[in-house]
Structure 1
Amino acid sequence: MAEAKTAEQLMRSRYSAFVKADGDYLMQSHHASTRPIKEKKSIVKWAKSVEWIKLDVIETSKGTENDTQGTVTFQAYFYEKGKVDIIHEKSAFVKENNNWFYVGLSK
């Protein structure tokens, strides 16, 4: 995938990786300090088990090309076990060595 220039671009590329169940990209784009290596197989299995519907970005704070951190609030819609469900998350991102990484839930 192309290099993300903003936190929002990285978040969108990670959503695409969930849709494709691309565990390698999900791990590479997750910051080393919070990377869930042991959970990779279960994350991929779950991502394959649901039908992804759409992504809505609700709000972005900082996270531009000139920032070193930012947050993105989004809703990811998916179909699982006969019903639509939504992941609503405010995600934290950091930029290190000119690369954006997902850190986890924003506090």
Structure 2
Amino acid sequence: MIDFSQLDRVIHEKGRLAIMTVLAARSPRAFQDLKSELGMSDGNLISHLRTLTKEGYVRELKTTAADSSRPCTSYEISGAGKSAFNAYLKVLEAIVKQSRPS
């Protein structure tokens, strides 16, 4: 029997799962790129990113755009975030494996 309490509640929320999936595939990503790719509003995206940052799964990077002096904010998955995401995927894989008929 799968212990569903093993699912990381921080990652399990749909918006945060989407962010973690994108950042796990390619990191860092600019805020505007994440917003465009995920189809989230500014407020929704920043709220989820704050939760992930507070948990230590994501890091915020502040830079200045090369072609101008305007600030650019990017996000990358942290080592703890990679570990948590991989553990989350293992639980999902166990759920799928158990639910398939033998």
TM-score, structure 2 as length reference = 0.30
Select the structure with the greater relative contact order (CA < 8 A; seq sep ≥ 6).
Answer: 2
Question: Counting strand residues as a fraction of each chain, which structure ranks higher?
Answer: 1
TM-score, structure 1 as length reference = 0.29
